[in-house]
C-alpha cells in the first residue's frame, strides 16, 4: 500500500483555520460556514455515489425559474445545502439556482449574521442521469453593511464578483474534489471516504498562461457571431508555432470543464448566441465563483469584453457570456471578438 507522507497531512479544517488566522479580526463565522458547507458537500457526494440505488435519478414534476425541468438530485442537493447552511447562525440570506427568490435565514439570527451565500447546488444537470461529472458551485459575500440591524436585501446577494469573500466548487467525479479561494490562491482537496475527510492535494494551483485546449458547445456554431466563429476556426487551423490545432474537450458541466481548464490550461467558452443573447450561465452563482477561481490561479475571465468580476449584476438569475482560462488564450479570443486579430485582417 502506498505510504502517506505524514508530515504533509492537511485537512480542510486545518487549512480553513490557517486562512482565518490571516484575518486578525476574524470571528469564526467563516470557519463555521465552511465547515457547514463541506458537510453538505459530503452528504451530496454520498448520495451522488449511490445514484441509481436510491431512487434519486430522473425528473421531478416541476420546472425552475429558468424554465428548465428540475431533476430530483438538483432539488435534493438544494435542500441539503439550505438545511445544513441555515443551522450555524453565520448566514443571514442565501440564493440558489433552484429558488426564484433569495431566501432569508432564521428570523432570530438574520440581523446579526454578516454573510450571504449563493450557489448552484448541482451544476451540469443534463449529466446527472448518465454518470458524468457534476458539481456544486458557491460564493460567499459579506453583507454590504455588516453592522446593520436591518434585514438583508437582494443588494447583498447581487454584489459584483470582485467583492466575493470566498468562492469555489465541489466536483463529483472519479473522486470528490473541493476547490476554494479566499483571495489567497486556489487550493484543492480530495475527499478520502475511508476517513470522511477532505485532504489537501494541491496548494496554490496555477493555470498555464497558454495551452492547446478549447471547450465549447460547437453544435451551436451557426448561432455564433462572426468574430467568435473565426476564433474557433482559427483554433482548428494547423500551425506548429502556436500549437494549433487545439484539442477539443467539452463535458457539458461548466464546473467540470472549468476544473479541467484550471489544471491543463486552454480556454472555456459559453458565448452569447442568437438563441441565448446573454449567454446561458448565470453570473451570480456560476460565472462569478468560477471566474474568481480562474483569476486566483493566474488566468482571465471575461464576457468577451469586460472582466466578469467587475460586472454589477441587476438580478439574481442574470445570465452572462463566459470566456475564461489561460490568459493568453482569453486575450486572443477577445481580439477576435473585437475583429482585431492580425489573422482576421489578411
Distance CA 307, CA 183 (A): 16
Q: Which of 34, 76, 65 is nearest to 172 (CA)?
A: 76
Nearer to ligand AHM, 234 or 270 (CB): 270
CB of 110 to ligand AHM, least distance (A): 27
Contact between 156 and ligand AHM per CB under 6 A: no
Q: Which position among 31, 217, 242, 344 is part of the footprint of ligand AHM (CB under 6 A)?
A: 217
Nearer to ligand AHM, 114 or 280 (CB): 280
CB of 342 to ligand AHM, least distance (A): 30
Decide which of ligand AHM, Mg ion, none touches 13; Cβ closer than 5 to 8 Å per partner kind: none
CB of 193 to ligand AHM, least distance (A): 25
Distance CA 123, CA 133 (A): 9
Distance CA 343, CA 193 (A): 51
CB of 123 to ligand AHM, least distance (A): 5
What H or E segment, with its residue span, contains residue 319?
A: strand 319-320
CA distances from residue 230 to 156, 216, 226, 242, 274 in whole angstroms, order as listed: 40, 14, 6, 16, 16
Q: Which three cell numbers stand for residue 4?
A: 502517506
Nearer to ligand AHM, 181 or 261 (CB): 261
Nearer to Mg ion, 37 or 211 (CB): 37
CA distances from residue 272 to 303, 311, 325 in whole angstroms, order as listed: 9, 16, 17
Nearer to ligand AHM, 171 or 211 (CB): 171
Count Cβ atoms within 10 A of the Cβ of residue 243 and give its class: 0-12 exposed, 13-18 middle, 19 or more buried: middle
Interface with ligand AHM by CB under 6 A: which range of 23-31, 39-47, 247-255, 338-346? 247-255
Name the site residues for ligand AHM (rule: CB under 6 A). Answer: 68, 97, 120, 123-126, 217, 252-254, 270, 280
Amino acid at each position: 500500500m502506498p505510504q502517506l507522507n505524514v508530515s504533509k497531512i492537511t485537512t480542510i479544517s486545518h487549512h480553513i483555520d490557517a486562512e482565518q488566522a490571516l484575518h486578525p479580526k476574524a470571528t469564526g463565522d467563516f470557519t463555521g460556514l465552511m465547515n457547514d458547507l463541506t458537510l453538505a458537500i459530503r452528504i451530496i457526494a454520498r448520495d451522488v455515489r449511490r445514484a441509481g440505488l436510491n431512487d434519486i435519478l430522473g425528473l421531478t414534476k416541476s420546472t425552475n425559474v429558468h424554465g428548465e425541468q428540475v431533476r430530483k438530485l438538483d432539488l435534493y442537493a438544494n435542500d441539503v445545502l439550505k438545511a445544513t447552511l441555515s443551522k450555524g447562525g453565520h448566514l443571514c440570506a442565501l440564493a440558489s439556482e433552484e429558488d426564484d427568490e433569495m431566501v432569508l435565514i432564521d428570523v432570530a439570527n438574520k440581523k446579526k449574521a454578516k454573510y450571504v451565500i449563493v450557489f448552484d447546488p448541482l451544476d451540469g444537470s443534463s449529466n446527472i442521469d448518465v454518470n458524468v461529472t457534476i458539481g456544486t458551485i458557491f460564493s460567499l459575500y459579506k453583507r454590504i453593511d455588516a453592522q446593520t440591524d436591518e434585514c438583508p436585501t437582494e443588494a447583498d446577494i447581487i454584489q459584483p464578483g470582485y467583492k466575493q469573500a470566498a468562492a469555489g466548487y465541489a466536483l463529483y467525479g472519479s473522486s470528490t474534489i473541493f476547490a476554494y479561494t479566499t483571495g489567497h490562491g486556489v487550493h484543492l482537496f480530495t475527499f478520502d471516504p475511508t476517513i470522511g475527510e477532505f485532504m489537501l492535494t494541491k496548494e496554490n494551483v496555477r493555470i498555464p498562461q497558454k495551452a492547446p485546449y478549447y471547450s465549447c458547445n460547437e453544435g451551436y456554431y451557426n448561432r455564433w457571431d462572426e468574430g467568435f466563429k473565426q476564433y474557433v476556426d482559427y483554433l482548428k487551423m494547423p500551425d506548429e508555432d502556436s500549437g494549433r490545432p487545439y484539442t477539443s474537450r467539452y463535458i457539458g458541466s461548466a464546473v467540470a470543464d472549468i476544473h479541467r481548464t484550471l489544471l491543463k490550461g486552454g480556454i472555456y467558452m459559453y458565448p452569447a448566441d442568437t438563441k441565448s443573447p446573454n449567454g446561458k450561465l448565470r453570473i451570480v452563482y456560476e460565472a462569478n465563483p468560477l471566474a474568481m477561481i480562474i483569476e486566483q490561479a493566474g488566468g482571465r475571465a471575461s464576457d468577451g469584453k469586460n472582466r466578469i468580476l467587475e460586472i454589477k449584476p441587476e438580478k439574481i438569475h442574470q445570465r452572462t457570456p463566459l470566456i475564461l482560462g489561460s490568459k493568453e488564450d482569453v486575450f486572443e479570443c477577445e481580439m477576435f471578438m473585437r475583429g482585431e486579430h492580425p489573422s482576421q485582417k489578411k
